[in-house]
Structure 1
């Protein structure tokens, strides 16, 4: 296949081959295959990659290609032992790629960086805890706001609860997490519109819906198990309308690996019935155009004496702000909408007509909406669109943000948040006899700003690869070495271990798939999926090493070494028996987690209360609120009117989960031999005098005087809207200024970065 040629349906033999290759590459073909039979099953383990919902009646193989790769990556037979670090200095390893670093294998031994040799050397657990505790205790009380406790989204509900308690008992609310980088725009937007910070859709709604709209979410690589729900909907004749700058394989066609017919014949399911390649940053315009078409159709219906298009009974009873919103829509011209969205009026009117013909509509979106300067408004426009026809709070309809990491939503539910008003501080005070801090903590962007200005002195990371995930990579790495302390709780080696503070530790942990043996026996944990359902998860694989400790045990060890003794907090009892942590969670959040231990193995999970799903609006005015868009441009500060300026948006590949890169090819997009590429419109290539396969340097167009660039990018002609260019995350992160983030939520605006290209 030619570079950049789209020739694969999602699923099919291609996925089977990729899964087999992943298991072979990690030397776990037989063991891994057996483990996959337990993935996302009620009595098995929850996938360690995406957070898509787990059905009550799972398929025989309830895993996708991405999830199988994540499992193979975690249970690999490869090991990153102390002798590896004896052979390689940290400085040498800085030249290794992300894929190469993680490919070394599982970390097995606690490690401490040695300045004299520039190597990580083994250290015993108790010494590591004691030294880390001594460093943290040495920070004066008035400077403890400069210690950050980051969580990646991987940790269980039990560990997350313990971690947030550790941070607050230490003295701050500095609990940034991967939500800050992805879906914080959702958590800010939806409480104002419908009164909940999460979506309203469950798996049952997919069985009843008669129309689905997709906005900025690549199901084929980011949540492939959802393709089962989409395929079943298409077989019922449900139209699926997609808005996305790139034509993604998973949103075009799906060949179900679990269907003998589709595996033995050319049969496949067309997923999108209408595909609209919206300009990057043009979603507000597209959604406003849909709303304008609906309002004009409603006007025509009234004039003809026909049935109304808008759900006037719902709007009158349940909503506020409709008049102002409609006035703004009416005053916006179609030409303005076309210019902002990059779509034609006819296409938007056709999509709106499909929507108007449906009774129950689901609106699905991902980071293509949240990671913009006006990411919060993007989300609120989806809510506006659905509210016009009463498509929130009834079966078969609702708003569906698709979360990324496997428990990123759940860790927020149990208190991982920098916002004190969202944490149960009074309940924590009552239960654990301490005074919780009341000041706002640092989110991800603010933590990075603190590293740059020197106000942050220590960083504890519970999973993840923070330095690769954040914007402004070059500036951040240069400042990172000024930190006094860095601690990383990890399963595999990554770049965040190599760019470190003066005192640096790597604490290797068990993975979720591994058997977790504690004093009371084998333990289970719980996670929350994207639809707000809680699931039990029990490891099935033997641990990668005898010295590994669970994340919960590591958090408890850090807490005991750092905090004054508190009889009200039984850290060791919690580690001995995780059911006691769940009892504590239930006491802290009784509305959500009552009878936690009894309900955690419910098939399909037990769902947290979602009042908006029942048309109960927990907003200040008790209504679902329309939000008036004050702009049609999701990224106004990136709308540079120069012909040579392009709008970059970052994407992930089919062989990637967040910052973990399994291999450097992307078969869905026809990219082979490396990820340092830019997908570019052929017309833009010609207009700018550039050629396919040419190597270029990308320069960020910013006004802060900081030079940001990425060198050695290969140009690939691709079907992408004119003026837009796609590049891989995290390779393109150095081009994004830390200040370029969503208003209100501070999510890095990775989907719209102004750049210029020069020949390499």
Structure 2
């Protein structure tokens, strides 16, 4: 298949395309010159921490420490557009449901607290006192077990801690967050095999590693600042090997927009020395092939008195190595090639990079976590790293790249439906109550509860939950049967238009805006994907005088709902967020000692990771080799006419936020209603470029799922795989189609059929 036959982008990641992308959003949002000062302070010590991705903020920062998508997120938040009560007076909620995601957010920042009036089908303004009082009355009337407290990944550590406390004082552990939809497989999987629920690599490791292996992570669109250390690594001789069904430009070539020489000369850096388009769900097989090559080279080396595998590490620090070795040796190359979609020579070439490298980092994203066999995919990557002791040494490690800016940190401070992960005894002592011990609901379980009527209330701290979940056509119908829905947000999105019997839309400050409380201007904090904690200070003028901070809104609802408790000081905590950080330190002293003093440590302060110290908090007390049950993570069999659908984000979006219709890095412009498929498969089906088709989920559960109006575009993909955009294709994902252990929706391999 010739690349020229497909839709593609010839330029590099970064470069002038990135600059033009930022300029386009700046012009669209009518931003003021004062916004430039916010961008200048972005991701720097003592500055404002980006609301976009969770990539780390280095101590030795660049003059402009933001990427294209980070700048878009800031410009989007600081827009001069306003979504006022007059707007809601002009449009019914039913009418607004017909608007596109982009157009809803394009109305700008929410300015007033609003109540949904079911009789008129309009949002109407209300006072904060009215909103808090009504929400409190409704929550007191509901069974605590029937209420969900959801949070997106952007809320600060301080707000997240108090939000979790509010839920537990109220009487439940129903605290799902956006991690349930993306990286919960990481939290569950890494905990099982290395005893730590997050990655082990730190920023400095990228400056000393010899090789980096990427699996299912699109750095160019989802965490572009990561491209800087990758480019530096390549220039010093590090080899990067990428496995991804899609050829993503950020992992092919880049031009650093902050390098005048590169910008003027157009000199590109080739990022990946090898790029393997693995079949979606085929990563287990691909890693198995590399491990098979490692064992073959180990056999050769031992005949010469050398070794490839770190036997000392394996014997001292790991468990079940023999079972894993037996499985690798027994698995045939025929099986590996069939399930991975790659040939033996390609996998041996990738395996040789691993054999030759002394220090290796394994990177992965949702291409691994959002599969039915996601745990086994992650566990296989850990298996490969363990073979040569590539966890717990400088320049090595496992490194999941998280999406939203504080999704990892929220879990650290208590946003969890699993009470065993939270120090409940300490909370009991600190706040004088008996915390609930019963497991709460995660995202899938919350959806199931809404469908069967057992969930009656839903409070959402940010996010666009209804739009982000699977089966959302069915879910929207069920959603309206709940008694109470509360949405805390900065901009209007579709979730705000699907309301319970009683519904409130509560506008909050953005992170970039000045948060002035009784104790003066406030600071918040968050944790990046490399486990470093950063302080953030907003200084921009708030979008409206009627906005409250997220923390103040949580406190206002809690005060109206809960009985007085002398140990629970909502007003005091709202007035001084430093006192909330003292509570976090008291609750988690090993991770947050001297929290306030270390808040603005350049590069953040590291909260530690036991596996990085080779302390394995697993059942066996060692790192676990595992034996996969299958070589495919897809969770379904291939059949004639059945395709594996993967959902994608574009270069012009972040999660469900759609900045525009330019997926520049894939060469797709003007539309998101597309089906990407390779020319060979198009020919087999008799499809023409531009033809409009429908996708139907190929699952026999009695429910029909279809999405139509999709324009066929030829695209460089593996045979048997197709792709389209998230969240537009979410209606095709059954709620039951999720990772086996974490229940993360399996959005990267959905069985579908194409209907002309």
The answer, yes or no, to whether TM exceeds 0.5 is yes
- Corresponding residue SS for 1:225: helix
- Corresponding residue SS for 1:534: strand
Contiguous gaps of at least 5 residues in structure 1:
none
Could you report, residue by residue, the CA deviation over 1:556-605 in whole angstroms, capped at 9, with x for unpaired residues?
A: 00000011111101111000000000001111111111111001110011
The 8 Å contact of residues 695 and 713 in structure 1, kept in 2 or not, is answered as yes
Compute the displacement of 1:9 (Å). 1.0
CA shift in 2, pair 1:700/1:492, >3 Å? same
Instruction: Output the CA distance in 2 between the equivalents of 1:159 and 1:8.
Output: 42
- Corresponding residue SS for 2:505: strand
The 8 Å contact of residues 533 and 608 in structure 1, kept in 2 or not, is answered as yes
Give the structure-2-normalised TM-score. 0.99
Compute the displacement of 1:5 (Å). 2.0
Give the aligned partner of residue 104 of structure 1. 107
Instruction: Output the CA distance in 2 between the equivalents of 1:30 and 1:725.
Output: 43
The 8 Å contact of residues 210 and 358 in structure 1, kept in 2 or not, is answered as yes
Give the aligned partner of residue 257 of structure 2. 257
Compute the displacement of 1:34 (Å). 2.1
Compute the displacement of 1:31 (Å). 2.2
- Corresponding residue SS for 1:744: coil
Give the aligned partner of residue 132 of structure 2. 129
Instruction: Output the CA distance in 2 between the equivalents of 1:242 and 1:164.
Output: 38
The 8 Å contact of residues 467 and 477 in structure 1, kept in 2 or not, is answered as yes
Q: 2:697 aligns with which of 693, 697, 700?
A: 700
Instruction: Output the CA distance in 2 between the equivalents of 1:28 and 1:184.
Output: 36
Query: In the TM superposition, what are the counterparts of 1:214-613 in structure 2 within 5 Å?
Result: 214-303=214-303, 305-613=304-612
Q: Which one is further off, 406-415 or 294-303?
A: 294-303
Could you report, residue by residue, the CA deviation over 1:588-637 in whole angstroms, capped at 9, with x for unpaired residues?
A: 11111111100111001111120111212122222111011111110232
Q: Does 1:751 align with 2:754?
A: no
Instruction: Output the CA distance in 2 between the equivalents of 1:182 and 1:307.
Output: 42
Q: 1:710 aligns with which of 707, 711, 724?
A: 707
Instruction: Output the CA distance in 1 between the equivalents of 2:76 and 2:6.
Output: 27
Give the aligned partner of residue 145 of structure 1. 145
The 8 Å contact of residues 8 and 667 in structure 1, kept in 2 or not, is answered as no
Q: Does 1:686 align with 2:689?
A: no
Compute the displacement of 1:388 (Å). 0.4
- Corresponding residue SS for 1:30: coil
The 8 Å contact of residues 114 and 120 in structure 1, kept in 2 or not, is answered as yes
- Corresponding residue SS for 2:41: coil
Q: 1:67 aligns with which of 55, 65, 70?
A: 70
Give the aligned partner of residue 184 of structure 1. 184
Instruction: Output the CA distance in 1 between the equivalents of 2:100 and 2:661.
Output: 10
Instruction: Output the CA distance in 1 between the equivalents of 2:424 and 2:8.
Output: 53
Compute the displacement of 1:709 (Å). 0.5
Give the aligned partner of residue 83 of structure 1. 86
Instruction: Output the CA distance in 2 between the equivalents of 1:646 and 1:353.
Output: 32
- Corresponding residue SS for 1:678: strand
Compute the displacement of 1:2 (Å). 9.4
Compute the displacement of 1:29 (Å). 5.0
CA shift in 2, pair 1:85/1:601, >3 Å? same
Instruction: Output the CA distance in 2 between the equivalents of 1:97 and 1:312.
Output: 57
Instruction: Output the CA distance in 2 between the equivalents of 1:507 and 1:576.
Output: 20
Give the aligned partner of residue 640 of structure 1. 638
Could you report, residue by residue, the CA deviation over 1:163-183 in whole angstroms, capped at 9, with x for unpaired residues?
A: 000001111100000000000
Compute the displacement of 1:492 (Å). 0.2
Instruction: Output the CA distance in 1 between the equivalents of 2:273 and 2:613.
Output: 30
How many residues are matched? Answer: 753
The 8 Å contact of residues 3 and 670 in structure 1, kept in 2 or not, is answered as no
The 8 Å contact of residues 695 and 752 in structure 2, kept in 1 or not, is answered as yes
Q: Which one is further off, 619-628 or 703-712?
A: 619-628
Q: Does 1:721 align with 2:718?
A: yes
Could you report, residue by residue, the CA deviation over 1:529-560 in whole angstroms, capped at 9, with x for unpaired residues?
A: 00000000000211000000000000000000
- Corresponding residue SS for 1:28: coil
- Corresponding residue SS for 1:37: helix
- Corresponding residue SS for 1:488: strand
Instruction: Output the CA distance in 2 between the equivalents of 1:226 and 1:247.
Output: 17
Runs of 4+ in 1 over 6 A off after TM superposition: none
Instruction: Output the CA distance in 1 between the equivalents of 2:224 and 2:683.
Output: 35
Instruction: Output the CA distance in 1 between the equivalents of 2:710 and 2:11.
Output: 24
The 8 Å contact of residues 480 and 500 in structure 2, kept in 1 or not, is answered as yes
Give the aligned partner of residue 730 of structure 2. 733
Could you report, residue by residue, the CA deviation over 1:725-744 in whole angstroms, capped at 9, with x for unpaired residues?
A: 01100000000000000001
Q: Does 1:55 align with 2:58?
A: yes
Compute the displacement of 1:32 (Å). 2.2
Instruction: Output the CA distance in 2 between the equivalents of 1:473 and 1:693.
Output: 27
Instruction: Output the CA distance in 1 between the equivalents of 2:24 and 2:680.
Output: 37
Give the structure-1-normalised TM-score. 0.98
Instruction: Output the CA distance in 2 between the equivalents of 1:8 and 1:439.
Output: 53
Could you report, residue by residue, the CA deviation over 1:5-44 in whole angstroms, capped at 9, with x for unpaired residues?
A: 2222110001111111111111115222221110000010
Could you report, residue by residue, the CA deviation over 1:176-230 in whole angstroms, capped at 9, with x for unpaired residues?
A: 0000000000100111111100000111000111111000000001110000000
The 8 Å contact of residues 113 and 505 in structure 1, kept in 2 or not, is answered as yes
Could you report, residue by residue, the CA deviation over 1:395-451 in whole angstroms, capped at 9, with x for unpaired residues?
A: 001000000100000000000000010011111101001110101100000000001
- Corresponding residue SS for 2:25: helix
Instruction: Output the CA distance in 1 between the equivalents of 2:678 and 2:499.
Output: 39
Instruction: Output the CA distance in 2 between the equivalents of 1:363 and 1:659.
Output: 27
The 8 Å contact of residues 3 and 672 in structure 1, kept in 2 or not, is answered as no
Instruction: Output the CA distance in 1 between the equivalents of 2:663 and 2:288.
Output: 34
Instruction: Output the CA distance in 1 between the equivalents of 2:158 and 2:483.
Output: 29
The 8 Å contact of residues 44 and 57 in structure 2, kept in 1 or not, is answered as yes
Give the aligned partner of residue 118 of structure 1. 121
The 8 Å contact of residues 559 and 570 in structure 2, kept in 1 or not, is answered as yes
Instruction: Output the CA distance in 1 between the equivalents of 2:200 and 2:660.
Output: 35
- Corresponding residue SS for 1:634: coil
Instruction: Output the CA distance in 1 between the equivalents of 2:473 and 2:698.
Output: 16
Instruction: Output the CA distance in 2 between the equivalents of 1:662 and 1:745.
Output: 30
Compute the displacement of 1:3 (Å). 7.6
Could you report, residue by residue, the CA deviation over 1:381-400 in whole angstroms, capped at 9, with x for unpaired residues?
A: 11101000110000001000
